Amino acid sequence: MTTHTAALIGKRALVTGASSGIGAAIARELAALGIDLVLTARRRDALEAVAANCQGVKVDIVTADLGKPDAARTLWADATANGPIDILINNAGFGYFHRFDEVDWARDAELVQLNMTSLVALARCFVDARKSRKASAWMVNIASIGAYQSVPNMALYAASKAFVRNFSEALHDEHQGTPLSVTCICPGGTATAFHAASGGGDYSWLANASTGSAEFVAHAAVRAMLRGKRTVVPGLFNKVSALSVRFVTRRFASRLASQVLGKPRFALPARSTA
Ligand SMILES: NC(=O)c1ccc[n+]([C@@H]2O[C@H](COP(=O)([O-])OP(=O)(O)OC[C@H]3O[C@@H](n4cnc5c(N)ncnc54)[C@H](OP(=O)(O)O)[C@@H]3O)[C@@H](O)[C@H]2O)c1
């Protein structure tokens, strides 16, 4: 299903994690297509700065901490108070680049809640709301290239992204032939605040050399969404990397991921609760 962009003017998109990085870049891409926005994250001031760059469309801001149980359903109620949502961009997420046993359980619980449970809750609200509607709708879930193999020192993060990828691909298949399209995006290393927050950012030369921009990922994500793609890995190096794991053992792929990232060197910053 390829969508002509004229048909998108006046549609309404909910973008999670819209206050920075890939989510902010997706918000700008959608605004350029004439799509009204509901932007959400925890930091209102950062959301307002993104909204100021989304000219010519209506922008609502709803702050929410999706690391907390039940926040997703409250967010959905707030986001739909001014009209239906036609496009759901499930982008908010975080990870940490450290051994599993070196990190607080509270951080793991938040990761599971944000990267998986809240994403599923929003997906469910969206699918339920679209059931009785005949108009086209789009869901984009942001996974990661980490979804393609286990990643030592990013164990829980990579597992959460494998979950997002499998969940999204199954939803895509369930909705074949319906007006709802589900696309999974698996970015490789992208230059955003993610790395400083994860205690990463000082990886091997290969990981550093293959890092792309948030704008590149956002453009690829919106294009894939409009073409009704199932899964897209933006960037040639990342595509080759995702493909090549099919030809090696899972243990070798995991070791390779560990080599590409290198060893954790930075202390983990305190998690922002802004
Ligand atoms: N950067 C990469 O190399 C890379 C690679 C593959 C996949 N990804 C994925 O891309 C997505 C976006 O990440 P990014 O790279 O753009 O990182 P980022 O710049 O750190 O953005 C993360 C976004 O998530 C929001 N967020 C974090 N915790 C939240 C919470 N508890 N409740 C609500 N919102 C929360 C943040 O906003 P607030 O702080 O204002 O809440 C921010 O808007 C994530 O799912 C990430 O896993 C990133």
CB 211 within 8 A of CB 163: no
pLDDT of 145: 97
Does 107 map to a domain? Answer: yes
Catalytic residues: 157
Q: Buried b vs exposed e over 140-155: b needs ≥16 C-beta within 10 Å?
A: bbbbbbbbbbbbbbbb
Does 159 map to a domain? Answer: yes
CB 53 within 8 A of CB 30: no
Does 143 map to a domain? Answer: yes
- Domain with 212, as residue range(s), is 5-261
Along the 274 residues of the chain, how does pLDDT read in single tens digits? 677 788 898 899 999 999 999 999 999 999 999 999 999 999 999 999 999 999 999 999 999 999 999 999 999 999 999 999 999 999 999 999 999 999 999 999 999 999 999 999 999 999 999 998 999 999 999 999 999 999 999 999 999 999 999 999 999 999 999 999 999 999 999 999 999 899 887 788 888 888 999 999 999 999 999 999 999 999 999 999 999 999 999 999 999 999 989 888 878 888 766 5
- Within 6 A (CB) of ligand 1 lie 17-23, 41-43, 46, 64-67, 91-95, 114, 142, 144, 187, 189-190, 192-194, 197, 214, 272
Which ligand 1 atom is at minimum distance from the Cα of 195? 1
pLDDT of 201: 74
How many A from CA of 41 to the centre of ligand 1?
A: 9
pLDDT of 91: 98
Alpha-carbon distance values, 139 to 186, 222, 225, 229, 267 (Å): 14, 10, 8, 11, 35
Q: What tokens were used for 3? A: 């969508």
| Pairwise CA distance, residues 74 & 64, whole Å | 8
Does 50 map to a domain? Answer: yes
pLDDT of 204: 82
Does 106 map to a domain? Answer: yes
pLDDT of 1: 63
Amino acid at position 112, single letter: V
| 140 DSSP assignment | E
Number of domains the chain contains: 1
CB 141 within 8 A of CB 166: no
Does 267 map to a domain? Answer: no
Does 269 map to a domain? Answer: no
Does 274 map to a domain? Answer: no
pLDDT of 85: 98
Query: Is residue 89 packed enough to be buried (19+ CB in 10 Å), middle (13-18) or exposed (0-12)?
Result: buried
pLDDT of 3: 78
Domain of residue 68, CATH code: 3.40.50.720
